[in-house]
Amino acid sequence: MTLITRILPRKTPSLLSTLRAHFHSATPNMTLNLESSIVAANEGYVSKFSASDENLLLPPVKEVAVVTCMDTNIMPASALGFKLGDAHLIRNGGGSAREALRSLVVSQQLFGTKAILIIKHTDCGMTTFDNPTLHGTIKKNLGVDADGEDFGAIENIEQAVRDDVEFLKTHKLIPEVVRGNTTGWIYDPKTGKLTKVV
């Protein structure tokens, strides 16, 4: 089973050929269509937009930074009850604390955040491959040797949460007060439920 077929929903096998076609034949029209829909959506957003002075303060109101996955099935602000201006939301593949470290340090040192939430999720695409598999895919698709790159594949979600929290709690760039306010969670995109791990 290829990386792509493992990530795609099982109920839509025809999506695989569609994804391959898009990957290899992206055109300027695709970008133009996306831009048009974004502009239209933004105009609607602007027509209803309203922000208080509190929302526009640079330091996050709740003094928290959230590290979570880039998965499109997660809307962290909605899931956590945050509104504009409440928190720094940092997203990457798998919600990696290591990859987010630079942003976390900036968040704490320049904007005064005092807590970190690490939120990973069930059925994460980062559990569907290992580095050698992705190295091979990159070599095939791009003709580039990426063997030295670690793409952060995850074997066990709960252990990955624990490892990321431990990484932050023992890192010299994370202040003591923030270490004590660093917690790890798992989100279930099928139910919206958030469960604390550590």
Q: Are 74 and 192 in contact (CB under 8 A)?
A: no
Alpha carbon 41 to chain centroid distance?
Answer: 22
Q: Mean pLDDT lowest for which of 51-55, 90-94, 104-108, 159-163?
A: 51-55
Superfamily of domain 54-196: Carbonic anhydrase (3.40.1050.10)
Domain boundaries, the chain: 12-49, 54-196
DSSP codes, 86-111? SEEEEEETT--HHHHHHHHHHHHHHH
Residue 15 or 113, more confident:
113
pTM confidence score = 0.83
DSSP H helical ranges for 49-149: 76-80, 97-111, 131-142
Is the pLDDT assigned to residue 13 strictly greater than 70? no
Say what percent of the chain tops pLDDT 70: 84
Q: Are 104 and 172 in contact (CB under 8 A)?
A: no
Q: Are 63 and 116 in contact (CB under 8 A)?
A: no
The mean pLDDT of the chain is 88
pLDDT band at 24 (very low <50, low <70, confident <90, very high): low
d(CA 18, CA 28): 17
| pLDDT value at residue 50 | 86
- Phi, psi (deg, nearest 5) at residue 49: -70, 140
Q: Are 86 and 47 in contact (CB under 8 A)?
A: no
Average pLDDT over residues 19-46: 79
Say whether 149 sits in a helix, a strand or coil.
coil
The pLDDT tens digits of the residues spanning 85-132 come to: 999 999 999 999 999 999 999 999 999 999 999 999 999 999 999 999
Cα dist. 52→55, 63, 83, 84, 146 in Å?
5, 18, 11, 9, 47
